[in-house]
Amino acid sequence: MSGILYVVGTPIGNLSDFSPRAIETLQQVDFIAAEDTRVTLKLLNHFEIKKPMVSYHEHNLRERGMMIIRRIQEGESCAVVSDAGMPCISDPGEDLVRLAAENSISAVVIPGPSAAVSALCLSGLSTSRFCFEGFLSTNRHNRQLHLESLKNDPHTLIFYEAPHKLQNTLQDLYKAFGNRRISLARELTKVHEEVLRTDLEGAVAYFQEKAPKGEFVLIVEGAPEQEEKESCTLEEAVAAAKVLAGDGMKPTEAARITASETGFKKSEIYAGMLKE
Ligand code: SAM
The enclosing domain of 87 has a CATH number of 3.40.1010.10
The enclosing domain of 215 has a CATH number of 3.30.950.10
For residue 229, tell me if it sits in a domain. Answer: no
Indicate whether 108 and 143 sit together in one domain: no
Which ligand 1 atom lies nearest to the CA of residue 187?
24
Alpha carbon distance 150, 160 (integer Å): 15
Confidence (pLDDT) at 138 = 95
Res. 127: pLDDT tops 60: yes
Percent of the chain with pLDDT over 70: 98
Q: Is 43 in the pocket of ligand 1 (CB under 6 A)?
A: no
For residue 225, tell me if it sits in a domain. Answer: no
Confidence (pLDDT) at 227 = 56
- Which residue among 196, 220, 244 closes a domain? 220
Q: Is 218 in the pocket of ligand 1 (CB under 6 A)?
A: no
Res. 53: pLDDT tops 70: yes
Q: Could you read off the pLDDT of 237-267 as tens digits, one per residue?
A: 999 999 999 989 999 999 988 988 888 888 9
Q: Is 188 in the pocket of ligand 1 (CB under 6 A)?
A: yes
The pTM score is 0.83
For residue 226, tell me if it sits in a domain. Answer: no
Q: Is 115 in the pocket of ligand 1 (CB under 6 A)?
A: yes
Write b or e for each residue in 158-192: b if 16 or more Cβ atoms lie within 10 A of its Cβ, otherwise e.
bbbbeeeebbebbebbbebbeebbbbbbbebbeee
Ligand 1 centroid from CA 127, angstroms: 19
Which ligand 1 atom lies nearest to the CA of residue 189?
23
Q: Could you read off the pLDDT of 133-156 as tens digits, one per residue?
A: 999 999 999 999 999 999 999 999
Segment 107-114 shows an average pLDDT of: 98
